[in-house]
Structure 1
Amino acid sequence: MVLAYETRGVGRPLVVLPWFGLDRGSAVAAFEPVFEGRPGWRRVYVDLPGTGGSPGGEPTSDAIRAAVADLLTSFDRPVALAGCSYGGYLAAGVARRVPGRVAGLLLVCSGVTIAAAERTLPPAPSTPPPAGWLDGIAPELAPHLATALGNRTAEVARRVSAVVTATMTGDDEFLDRLRPAGYRLSDEDDAVRYAGPAALLTGRQDLIAGYADQFGALEHYPDGAYAVEPEAGHYLPFEQPAVFADLVGHWLARLP
């Protein structure tokens, strides 16, 4: 698989993998505000197979991980590697498989196990959201945001809706084959440790990936930091952008 990507800035390489089914534009929208006034980083935003400019291929996460690992060989030094949601699941898998190519690992709202039934998820919020907070959101997207968002305001809903709508460019046929056939990485349960600087960022209200499994996964990251944002769900970078920028900045400062 050949992966399309977009590069911003110059300096040390940071490779970012986006949410499942969303193209690299979602990662651009999440991370570029972090680098305003923060020079020295070359941000590489990747289209995963079946999204944006990257064609589908073998519909397995193992094959997609191999494509990402191959991309990392094109850099003349180990890269900082970040991923959101499914992109974080893959990034963790890359760090297990080729740790020498990964200078640091950032997992944002990332699932630890890919099977939804096996995830430890928080209860649904007991406080009802503001009336009309999803008004104006496309009917096909509103149920997803009602589940995915922890900061349930009209402003956040519009912000996330704009990003998702603009970047949902996936090859549905490929993605539909990937989900049932090969979604799980073959070494998901391996007790492999990644020794580099890692950070696991979660939302307390994330009803998709949760936050508890990520805390348990810290045993795999001896130099790992963990954060849970109380008023965020699965789209932490857009729900709490200032908090996200601070957490990413702290991780960047730890990289060798």
Structure 2
Amino acid sequence: MEAEIGGAVVHYVEHGDGIPVLALHGAGVDHREMAGALEPVFRGRPGYRRVYPDLPGMGRTPVPDRLRGSDDVLDLLLGLIDAVVGDQQFVIVGHSFGGYLARGIAARRPAQVAGLALICPLGEEPRDVPAHAVLHASADVADALSPAEQASFRDYFVVQTPATVERFRKYVAPALPLVDRDGLGRVFDQWRLSDTSAYAGPTLILAGRQDATVGYAGAWDLVARYPHATYAVLDRAGHALPHEQTGLLTALIAEWLDRVDEHRAA
């Protein structure tokens, strides 16, 4: 599906009916990574309309020339929300850069955002970021991935098993050749958002203990801004936490959704 927002076209996929769930992927992939992570959560949980956009410069959403930073991307997403969600309450799940944008949406629309979930969120001041180290490797990737894909897989995953190779092949690799790196470069030249202020709704913050991209220590600093946040650091998980800790991800997202439902009913 496509929505035209101020002359820009945003591609998105949606599943289900009910309260909208806006799922925002990170940099260098597309909507398929978030759909692969979240659809198992909703398999036995009706009542949610999952909306998975391709962020600008990734998947099938181009980067308009006027986009010059994260604030411009945020404005585009707010326009998408107006077009696709309207004035309904909705929840947001964001991974990495998508988590950073999700924080911006919650800051701008706190009354409309019913819940916020951040997975390995990018932050303004990452600290104590560990070097990339593979914890477990039991997969032969030579037959499953191209040489370029093998390099991306090895740099992204700290748990390298047949199961994580398959998830990479299905949910990550197809997006790699679609990235507009020049367009993303324009966005990341001014990547800091002007507003990521506090949000008081039900919040979940998940970090990977072995995350060599954003680390886990900086995510703890967010807890002070979110008074109803559950914060968890998962061992055996890097920046690819949604693929490496699928069971815990499903359980923690489900518990967060329970808190969202409780909060909305109060």
Letter in 1 for 2:59: G
Q: 1:121 aligns with which of 105, 122, 129?
A: 129
Residues 43-81 of structure 1: CA deviation (Å, up to 9, x unaligned): 011111122232212131110011112222242312101
Instruction: Say whether residues 1:252 and 2:257 are aligned partners.
Output: yes
Instruction: Say whether residues 1:186 and 2:186 are aligned partners.
Output: no
Instruction: Say whether residues 1:37 and 2:48 are aligned partners.
Output: no
**Normalised TM-score (structure 1):** 0.88
Shift in Å at residue 24 of structure 1? 1.2
Paired residue for 1:92?
A: 103
Residues 56-108 of structure 1: CA deviation (Å, up to 9, x unaligned): 12131110011112222242312101111111111111112221221110111
Shift in Å at residue 166 of structure 1? 1.4
Paired residue for 1:175?
A: 184
Shift in Å at residue 178 of structure 1? 2.3
Paired residue for 2:122?
A: 111
CA, structure 1 residues 183+138, in 2 after alignment: closer, same or farther (shift >3 Å)? farther
1:1-256 matches, cutoff 5 A: 1-57=8-64, 58-74=67-83, 75=85, 76-113=87-124, 118-125=126-133, 129-130=136-137, 133-136=140-143, 137-168=145-176, 169-179=178-188, 181-187=189-195, 192-255=197-260, 256=264
Contact 1:106 1:200 in 2 (8 A): yes
Letter in 1 for 2:230: A
CA, structure 1 residues 203+133, in 2 after alignment: closer, same or farther (shift >3 Å)? farther
Contact 1:7 1:45 in 2 (8 A): yes
Shift in Å at residue 133 of structure 1? 4.8
Task: Flag structure 1 segments of 5+ consecutive residues without an equivalent.
Answer: none
CA, structure 1 residues 39+163, in 2 after alignment: closer, same or farther (shift >3 Å)? same
Task: Flag structure 2 segments of 5+ consecutive residues without an equivalent.
Answer: 1-7
Letter in 2 for 1:38: R
Q: Distance in 2 between matches of 1:170 and 1:240?
A: 26
Residues 155-194 of structure 1: CA deviation (Å, up to 9, x unaligned): 3134224321112322232123323x22222346xxx210
Contact 1:56 1:174 in 2 (8 A): yes
Contact 2:11 2:60 in 1 (8 A): yes
- Counterpart secondary structure, 1:100: coil
Shift in Å at residue 134 of structure 1? 4.2
Letter in 2 for 1:120: D
Superposition CA RMSD, Å = 2.1
Shift in Å at residue 230 of structure 1? 0.5
Letter in 2 for 1:243: L
Q: Percent identity?
A: 36
Q: Distance in 1 between matches of 2:34 and 2:132?
A: 27
Q: Distance in 1 between matches of 2:68 and 2:149?
A: 25
* Number of residue-to-residue matches in the alignment: 248
Q: Distance in 2 between matches of 1:24 and 1:229?
A: 23
CA, structure 1 residues 119+140, in 2 after alignment: closer, same or farther (shift >3 Å)? farther
Contact 2:198 2:225 in 1 (8 A): yes
